[in-house]
Amino acid sequence: MSATSPRSALAIAAAVARGETTAMAEVEAALARIAAGDGVINAFTAVTADRARHEATLVDQRRARGEKLPPLAGVPFAVKNLFDVAGLPTLAGSRLHERRPVADCDAVLVARMQAAGAVLVGALNMDAYAYGFTTENTGYGPARNPHDTSRTAGGSSGGSAAAVAAGMVPITLGSDTNGSIRVPSSLCGVFGLKPTYGRLSRTGSYPFVASLDHLGPFATDVADLAASYDAMQGPDAADPACGQRSAELVSPGLGRDADVPLRVARLCGYFDRWASAAARAASMRAAEALGAHRTIELPEVERARAAAFVISAAEGGALHRATLQRDYDRFEPHNRDRFLAGALTPASWYVQAQKTRAWFAEQVRAIFADVDVLVAPATPVAATLLGEEWVELGGERLPLRPSLGLFTQPISCIGLPVAAVPIVGAGLPLGVQLIAAPWREDLCLRAALQLERAGIARCDIAGG
């Protein structure tokens, strides 16, 4: 990248608060980085320069008046284009949505980031309707991996991870139904957080699978991840899945508790069987650094993944049935037949999948009685070439695109919080999942911080 890479979000906010820089200068720098790099990376589908300059002006005026600034004041951020942004059509990765009316207000999480002082600079590329793991979007082109632009950024929040990995912005938001935060985090080498199902409001975001959809942040370090997560917490009665819990802030205790030992176990069995040697090594390295002294084999993981698959097919298919009837020929070719087949799912499959999910959640919940954090690979392989169709794993030749979710689907199926953490190593980035009991994002982030401080986890800005 020709423009300078950004500092961390918290470093920017601190510098703005001290008057060492201005929100406007930070926004202009971010816009310059996007202009310099996005022609190749293709992370952005819209750049909201006018809005960003207006918001930056407001932040700088507050400082000039001597007001105490909020925690992310002047921090540029961007969001997957399934978040409502006032004045833009909510694309959800689909050219068909360009005809829809523009959003009349921001999604709740966008508004909460703005209330925390962050400045929105744009909307980001994704797999159409979030049904994919590679962001090979026919309508908008692929998001490219900043570490090797011939390779996928992962998906479906590929633009979100690529924008952070390329150093365009320090924080982005994405969604994760079956792995769409964790897969691109792993392949682009950035930190990501998929909170507990129901933790963060989804109001004003375009759904994929209502009973599995989560939203969360990407960042270049753990402190930024925690700060953005904290900024977005809080109940929302308008989202029926959103818990009515008060915000449980993690940032204040993160550094204080960082050295408190955690009870850590590494997931084996299914996770070892399907992982490449590099992915298995990353998981073992992280587990060892966290002092893991045991391995655990989750029961019936394949069935849990199958349950997530069936639920996704059925709910996603039902959501898009009318559009497919009307616009099949203009629907994203990569997933229109999958959505349509999903719309034909027998009800008995769907109900049985939900029952399997509930059973699996109960089994895994019991494990957390004597374990704080489970470690597993985030993806079975590092970023593959764009257009790749097959991958060899566990001695079998498997279709690549669905296989990227092998390790994430069983976990999001039961709504557990997960920090996706990039593990330092040779070659292309690879991440691990740090998984905790429901509502214990603090433990995921504490483990992530321990790895970061030990030099095991780090986000390297591409070309930086």
Partner 1 sequence: MISDTSLDEYVAAAAGLQGFALDADQLARVQAVFRRNAAIAELVMGFDPGESAEPAPQFRP
- The residues carrying an active-site annotation are 80, 156, 180
Only one of the segments 105-113, 200-208, 344-352, 419-427 lies at the binding site for partner 1 (rule: CB under 8 A); that segment is: 344-352
| Between 313 and 419, CB nearer to partner 1 | 313
**Size, binding site for partner 1 by CB under 8 A:** 45
Only one of the segments 114-122, 146-154, 340-348, 453-461 lies at the binding site for partner 1 (rule: CB under 8 A); that segment is: 340-348
Contact between 229 and partner 1 by CB under 8 A: the answer reads no
- DSSP 3-state helix, strand, coil percentages of the chain (rounded to 5)? 40, 15, 45
Instruction: Tell me phi and psi for residue 442, to 5 degrees.
Output: -60, -35
Tokens of residue 86, six digits: 């006032």
Q: Residues 286, 196, 315, 237: what is their CA dihedral angle, to the nearest 10 degrees?
A: -160
Least Å from the CB of residue 358 to partner 1: 5
* Of 70, 198, 316, 410, the one binding partner 1 by CB under 8 A: 198
Please report which helix (H) or strand (E) contains residue 49, including its range: helix 49-64
* Of 8, 90, 152, 196, the one binding partner 1 by CB under 8 A: 196
| Between 277 and 366, CB nearer to partner 1 | 366
Residue 431 contacts residue 189 (beta carbons within 8 Å)? yes
Spell out, one character per residue from 162 to 181, where the chain touches partner 1: x when CB under 8 A holds, - when not.
--------------------
| Between 17 and 210, CB nearer to partner 1 | 210
* Of 352, 386, 398, 453, the one binding partner 1 by CB under 8 A: 352
Contact between 323 and partner 1 by CB under 8 A: the answer reads no
Residue 215 contacts residue 252 (beta carbons within 8 Å)? no
Only one of the segments 67-75, 149-157, 297-305, 423-431 lies at the binding site for partner 1 (rule: CB under 8 A); that segment is: 297-305
Tokens of residue 233, six digits: 């917490």
Contact between 241 and partner 1 by CB under 8 A: the answer reads yes
| Between 338 and 458, CB nearer to partner 1 | 338
- Map the footprint of partner 1 across residues 64-123, applying CB under 8 A: none
Triad 328, 347, 365: Cα angle to 5°: 110
Which residues, including other chains, have CB under 8 Å from residue 75's CB and lie 6 or more apart?
9, 12, 13, 26, 117, 118, 119, 170, 171
Residue 435 contacts residue 371 (beta carbons within 8 Å)? no
Tokens of residue 323, six digits: 């559009």
Triad 435, 411, 453: Cα angle to 5°: 25
Contact between 238 and partner 1 by CB under 8 A: the answer reads no
Taking the C-alpha atoms of residue 183 and residue 189, their distance in angstroms, rounded to an integer, is 10
| Between 150 and 325, CB nearer to partner 1 | 325
Least Cα distance to 357 among 156, 457, 211 occurs for 211
Contact between 240 and partner 1 by CB under 8 A: the answer reads yes
Contact between 313 and partner 1 by CB under 8 A: the answer reads yes
- Map the footprint of partner 1 across residues 3-22, applying CB under 8 A: none
Contact between 32 and partner 1 by CB under 8 A: the answer reads no
- Map the footprint of partner 1 across residues 403-442, applying CB under 8 A: 414-416, 438-439
Taking the C-alpha atoms of residue 259 and residue 252, their distance in angstroms, rounded to an integer, is 14
Q: Locate tokens 């349509």: which residue?
A: 340
Q: Where are the alpha helices (DSSP H) in 65-155?
A: 108-115
Contact between 41 and partner 1 by CB under 8 A: the answer reads no
* Of 25, 247, 258, 340, the one binding partner 1 by CB under 8 A: 340
- Map the footprint of partner 1 across residues 359-378, applying CB under 8 A: 359, 361-362
Sign for the CA dihedral angle at 275, 276, 282, 285 comes to positive
* Of 62, 321, 453, 458, the one binding partner 1 by CB under 8 A: 321
Taking the C-alpha atoms of residue 114 and residue 366, their distance in angstroms, rounded to an integer, is 39
Contact between 458 and partner 1 by CB under 8 A: the answer reads no
Least Å from the CB of residue 279 to partner 1: 22
Q: What residues line the site for partner 1 (CB under 8 A)?
A: 196-198, 211, 240-241, 243, 300, 302-303, 306-307, 309-310, 313, 321, 324-325, 328, 337-338, 340-345, 348-349, 351-359, 361-362, 414-416, 438-439
